[in-house]
Amino acid sequence: MSEWSGRVAFISGGVSGLGLGIAQAFSNAGMRLALSYRNEDYRAQAARWFAEQGREEPLWIRLDVLDRDGWAAAAEQVTARFGEVHVLCNNAGVSVFGDTAEASHADYDWIMGVNFGGVANGLVAFLPRLKAASGRRHVVNIASMAAYLSGPQAGIYTASKFAVRGLTESLRYNLVPHGIGCSLVCPALIRTNAWDSAFRRPAEFAQSGFGEVNRAELEQFGTAFEAGMDPLEAGTKIVAGMTRGAGLIFTHPEFAEDFEAIYADSLAALPDEAAPPERLEVERLRRAANRAALAGKAISINDLT
């Protein structure tokens, strides 16, 4: 029996794409599920999988991840149904591309609002519930390899994923004293329709600086996703990483060249000079505080000087 058996998990955007793959993997591990959705057709397709597998039907929660009241209501619904919630998976996101130098406020508000704000909203709504629960608990924040790899066509998307990375890496230290695991997940190409987010842009964010969506061009870009990893395979790797207690979960192996370049460029950018002893001491204390945090100590700013 899986150590996750009977644990209750909430997954945002859990009815299609990677979110559904995670939901299937969680179900395979014995978890009980609450899944948020916006598209009724996707929800119905997901429901068929659970019925065909003879699994408990998830609690379906219609949710816009920008809606903070909706998040609060979702947390209430989950605990009302299951009593406790043990796993939060912040998965919902949008993939939108365009020249960042042309971006409007609406572009920033939508992409950052969903991809980063949605994660923040999930944490505020559900962390008190996880802290109050018992046993194995975990937070999973889905970012992207874009949290490490920048490019010319996805500046705001990349910024949102860098933000999720920084938040999650820091949050991990804060959750150790509560006995709650925390994983940053950075998937790459997944066989999904994530590329078509621009076609589902809400009216309140319509004033894009990227110009009118070129459907043919975007659909051609979408053909790359056909080579992507199966969502259930990625979800299964995420469960394995959670079980190991991994703070960082990479699902795809094809990025050694990129990380070697990042490492080399970073080292080369450091000034070739000696640092004064007082600054070295500050950084020694910072590193020691980080190690102590991962060992279970609650760290305050007093530990940094």
Give 77-131 as a 3 state SS string.
Answer: HHHHHHCCCCEEEECCCCCCCECHHHCCHHHHHHHHHHHHHHHHHHHHHHHHHHH
238 pLDDT more than 90: yes
The rounded percent of the chain whose pLDDT value lies above 90 is 84
187 pLDDT more than 90: yes
Residue ranges per domain, the chain? 8-257, 271-305
What are residue 33's DSSP bridge partners? 9
How far is the first Cα of the chain from the last one, in angstroms, to the nearest whole number?
47
Tell me the catalytic residues. 157
Categorize the per-residue pLDDT at 216 as very low, low, confident or very high, splitting at 50, 70 and 90: confident
37 pLDDT more than 90: yes
What are residue 37's DSSP bridge partners? 62
What mean pLDDT comes out for the span 80-105? 95
Query: Which of helix, strand or coil describes residue 212?
Result: coil
Phi, psi of 23 (to 5 degrees): -60, -40
Position 283 scores a pLDDT of 97
Categorize the per-residue pLDDT at 151 as very low, low, confident or very high, splitting at 50, 70 and 90: confident
What mean pLDDT comes out for the span 82-108? 95
* 91: exposed, middle or buried (Cβ count in 10 Å: 0-12, 13-18, 19+): buried
Position 201 scores a pLDDT of 85
196 pLDDT more than 80: no
* Residues 163, 168, 171, 173, CA torsion sign: negative
Cα 281 from Cα 84, distance rounded (Å) = 44
Q: Contact, 22 vs 5, CB < 8 A?
A: no
What mean pLDDT comes out for the span 218-247? 92
219 pLDDT more than 80: no
221 pLDDT more than 80: no
For the stretch 257-299, pLDDT in tens is: 999 999 999 999 999 999 999 999 999 999 999 999 999 999 9
The CATH classification number of 8-257 equals: 3.40.50.720
